[in-house]
Amino acid sequence: MFRLHHVLSVFNTVHLNANRNRKKINHTRTAKRSTKLLYASVTTAILLIFSTFAFASLSISSDEQQIRPVYALPESGCITYDATTLTITVSCGSPVSLTDIYEQLGGAENKALYKDPDNNDGVWLLNANVTILAGSTLNIDSKDTKWLKIVADGQTLAYGIHVYGSMNIDSVKVTSWNPETNNYVESHGSRESSGKIVHVGAPRPFIRVERRGTGTTNITNSEIAYLGYEGGWGTGTSGIHYHLAGHGSVIRNNDIHHLYFGFYSVGVGGMIIENNKVHDMGHYGIDPHTGTHDMVIRNNTVYGNNGTAIICSQDCYKILFEKNVVYNNNGAGIAFSRNVTNSIARDNNIYDQSRAIHVSQSHNNEVYNNTISNAKSAIAVISNSSANNVHDNNIRDSSSPLRIDPGLDQVNRIYSNNIENSSTSSTPDTSSPDTSYSSPPSSPDTSSQ
């Protein structure tokens, strides 16, 4: 009642002032001007009425203040959790952090993302999938995070981070974590003959940039470990996977280890992968795949992987392999496989490999200025590869420095290579046929790992 009487009093006061003003108007002035004055007075009254309600609404009780949720984000409700699918969905117009997710989901009351009870200083446990929708960005960085542990039980549970928008991981550690064993999940499965035979592994968390994604997923200055598993051909659970999206992303200055695949991509362009340590994978180290193009793979140290260190396979083009250090991988060091074209391998240092540089069914590429030592097969050009230039490489301590299939020396240019303390034979080593780059079995989506 007090507010209503106050509003009426304000209105009457303004109206009385308007009448007094009208009496003072010179009668020789037009009625139009009087009308304008009346409109101005009424407008003032409306503004005063609005301000009265506005300021009154701020005078809420302390009890009402306590039940209002307080979020770090101006957009409350743009982070949700579905308990049926165990999925956190981010749909915010401005970038969000793990703290933002934690607070919008209820803080300590939520079980989807919570602070490590043994070390809550920047250590988080993620017990849910995360989906970042187009137009949204998730930042996982050192402002509020040291270590993101993604929960897994080593039996059936495999949460994924699915990116349709953008994500930035910087200066943090991201791994799987089994709270029961208080350790990483280490089983990842395996495959033979490049996918012909698969042995499904215990599920582990994974990062997947999804088809039709609109932004970039950048991973920098971080440790990424114990993610990904063999879920069967086409499941996309390999570890770090860019699927027809994430163009222009950067993976730089990381220690990436004990994933199933260190990196896998389909149809992605403009990425830079540089200055990383990539080691101890269950299968390949760095594997840009079907239709990947305009990618720079530079200054990485790649070792100890249970498959090829760096391979681009199936219709890749304009790939630069440059200044990488590669050794002790159970496969080739650097491989051009199945119609890789217009790509370059230069200034790489490759040693202690069964196969160092492998060119198979690929065309119009250049291999030069590489240093190769202690390799059974230093440089191989096989399987109808053509129009490749192989020159000015330094090869030593190799039993097969230049492995060229019969007749391919006529359709490729191989010249000015410096060979020391090695066999001079260039015939194929038929004692161990190379089947590691065979096509996978037929599948509705053979572009997905």
pLDDT tens per residue, range 173-182: 999 999 999 9
286-289, long-range: CB < 8 A, 24+ apart: 286/262, 286/310, 286/311, 287/261, 287/262, 287/263, 287/311, 287/312, 287/313, 287/449, 288/263, 288/264, 288/312, 288/316, 288/319, 289/264, 289/265, 289/313, 289/314, 289/316, 289/447, 289/449
Residue 265: which of 222, 216, 192 has the closest Cα?
216
* pLDDT band, very low/low/confident/very high, at 142 (cuts 50, 70, 90): very high
Residue 32, pLDDT above cutoff 70? no
DSSP 157: -
Burial category of 128 from C-beta neighbours within 10 Å (exposed 0-12, middle 13-18, buried 19 and up): buried
Task: Tell me the three state secondary structure of residue 218.
Answer: strand
Query: Mean of the per-residue pLDDT values for the chain?
Result: 83
> Which pLDDT score is estimated for 163?
98
pLDDT digit string, tens, across residues 85-112? 999 999 999 999 999 999 999 999 999 9
Residue 24, pLDDT above cutoff 90? no
Residue 64, pLDDT above cutoff 90? no
> Which pLDDT score is estimated for 232?
79
**What is the rounded distance in angstroms from the CA atom of residue 67 to the CA atom of residue 390?**
72
Burial category of 440 from C-beta neighbours within 10 Å (exposed 0-12, middle 13-18, buried 19 and up): middle
Q: What is the mean pLDDT of residues 313-337?
A: 98
Residue 65, pLDDT above cutoff 70? no
* pLDDT band, very low/low/confident/very high, at 291 (cuts 50, 70, 90): very high
* pLDDT band, very low/low/confident/very high, at 201 (cuts 50, 70, 90): confident
Residue 51, pLDDT above cutoff 50? no
**What is the rounded distance in angstroms from the CA atom of residue 374 to the CA atom of residue 358?**
15
Contact 146, 123 (CB under 8 A): yes
Residue 366: which of 344, 394, 334, 348 has the closest Cα?
344
Contact 366, 341 (CB under 8 A): no
Contact 285, 278 (CB under 8 A): yes
> Which pLDDT score is estimated for 122?
96
Which DSSP string do the residues of 327-362 spell out, in sequence order?
ES-SSEEEEEESS-BS-EEES-EEEEEEEEEEEES-
> Which pLDDT score is estimated for 393?
98
Residue 134: which of 86, 87, 90 has the closest Cα?
90
**What is the rounded distance in angstroms from the CA atom of residue 414 to the CA atom of residue 355?**
18
Q: What is the mean pLDDT of residues 280-302?
A: 97
Stronger pLDDT, 343 or 3, i.e. the higher one = 343
**What is the rounded distance in angstroms from the CA atom of residue 157 to the CA atom of residue 151?**
8
Contact 375, 351 (CB under 8 A): yes
Q: What is the mean pLDDT of residues 251-257?
A: 99
**What is the rounded distance in angstroms from the CA atom of residue 394 to the CA atom of residue 48?**
85
> Which pLDDT score is estimated for 202?
87
**What is the rounded distance in angstroms from the CA atom of residue 292 to the CA atom of residue 44?**
65
Q: What is the mean pLDDT of residues 385-402?
A: 98
Stronger pLDDT, 212 or 29, i.e. the higher one = 212
* pLDDT band, very low/low/confident/very high, at 195 (cuts 50, 70, 90): low
- pTM value is 0.80
* pLDDT band, very low/low/confident/very high, at 425 (cuts 50, 70, 90): low
* pLDDT band, very low/low/confident/very high, at 236 (cuts 50, 70, 90): confident
Q: What is the mean pLDDT of residues 154-173?
A: 96
The residue written with tokens 């039709």 in the block is: 212
* pLDDT band, very low/low/confident/very high, at 193 (cuts 50, 70, 90): low
Count of residues for the chain? 449
> What share of the chain has pLDDT > 70, as a percent?
77
